[in-house]
Amino acid sequence: MAPPHVPDIHHRRRRWTQTVLPRRTAQACYFPANRGKNVNHLQTLTAICNLPTAPYREQLVVAWLLEWAKQRRIHVTRDGVGNVYLHYRRGKPFKRPLIIEAHMDHPGFVVKKQRRDGTIEAAFRGGVKPSLFEKARAKFFTDRWHPTRVLTVKPNKKSRFLDVTLAAVKEKLPPGTLGMWDLPDAVIENGLFKSRVCDDLGGVAAIVCLFEELLDQKIDGHVIGLCSRAEEVGFGGVLAACENKWLPKNAVIIGLETSKASDFAKQGNGAIIRVGDRTGLFSLGLTHFVTQAAASIADDDKHFKYQRALMSGGTCNTTAVTAYGFDATCLCVALGNYHNQHVKGDPGYGDAPKAGPGIASETIHTGDFLGMVGILVAVVQRFKTYTPGVDFLRERFHKLHRDEQVALFKTTPL
């Protein structure tokens, strides 16, 4: 199987790693110290979730992934819109390549213009209620953070984004500079991971941790980690990949997400096999296969927890790829303060640092995250036995019928 078609964008890669992410910054701030053998997954999660990102401004995440892939000798390809494909191949190839997908963006600001007095005019891209912007603090990233605060916010009907003005900063911020909420770097307290962004850099981190496990345990398989762009503004990267046929036709896809926690999908109860989202339902056969992989871990480890639920908080990339005919399902972890929205009564309220009354760090449970990585490893280990569809269920029902039919036909209902 050939990797997805990739135009030559080498020049862009060089620019991103050398100019946008200074070497000193890359090494000193963003990489865990003990990467390599038996890398600490929570350090990887922390390093990746501390990266600045926004829709269409995923270049620092991309640069991190390229640097990591280089060090771990992972083959990387890109497509025409800059989605990142990480290729793991060892032993006999699977009949179908297994794609694990997560998105690299998160709702955030992008500078449109800086006025003479330093005031910032920015667009906010991604789903956050305008009322929650009140008295909120934000910060913009060049080679370091520049803190500021929101002055005004109003919807822009033409662009679907929000027009935001923010208090003056002294430094020059060129158009295109990305901004996020002024929240601290990630911390772990009582098993809760609190970060400016969990959605979906937590998913990207799970892909990296999966690859570390595959490398360290020398597991056979063919896995493609697809780190996609611009999900928060309409599934941009994944739709481009589907429309342009950049994904192998027979690929099987598992999307990784963080998804708003609820009473039936609580933080700390394990990773969630997501059977559907607000719009779609996912592949019955693949969802069952992933559930069985999770169950196999639980059989060996009585403390291992996982959940299975329809998470209707939003629509995700998995519905998009399902619509294009792919065999696909989703794994997620329950998210507190969904999209940084800090709303009384919602999961996560009061749990995390704030950037204003209505804005807080997102949270996920570290056990849920590690469980998601564990399930992915189990899926890859068993994947050579996977066949799409529900034949395996029909065979089981057929056997059930065969065993029971004599009794059934011989008895007469009262």
Residues at the contact surface with Zn ion, assessed by CB under 5 A: 199-200
- Give CA separation, 38 vs 209, 292, 362, in Å: 10, 26, 27
Shortest approach of Zn ion to residue 172 CB, angstroms?
32
First-to-last alpha carbon distance for the chain, in angstroms, is 60
Shortest approach of Zn ion to residue 355 CB, angstroms?
19
C-alpha to C-alpha distance for 365 and 153, rounded to whole angstroms: 32
Query: Which CB sits closer to Zn ion, 182 or 200?
Result: 200
Shortest approach of Zn ion to residue 102 CB, angstroms?
8
Nearest C-alpha neighbor of 13 from the set 52, 72, 69:
69
- 327 SS3 class: strand
Query: Which CB sits closer to Zn ion, 330 or 380?
Result: 330
State whether the Cα torsion 332-80-30-207 is positive or negative.
positive
Residues facing residue 88 across a β-bridge? 223
| Spatial strand order in the sheet of 192-195 | 187-189, 192-195, 362-365
Query: Which CB sits closer to Zn ion, 58 or 200?
Result: 200
Query: Which CB sits closer to Zn ion, 146 or 260?
Result: 260
Shortest approach of Zn ion to residue 128 CB, angstroms?
13
Query: Which CB sits closer to Zn ion, 338 or 386?
Result: 338
Shortest approach of Zn ion to residue 203 CB, angstroms?
7
Interior angle at CA 251, CA 250 and CA 252, nearest 5: 120
C-alpha to C-alpha distance for 312 and 306, rounded to whole angstroms: 18
Phi/psi at 331 (nearest 5 deg)?
A: -120, 140
Query: Which CB sits closer to Zn ion, 200 or 277?
Result: 200
Shortest approach of Zn ion to residue 259 CB, angstroms?
8
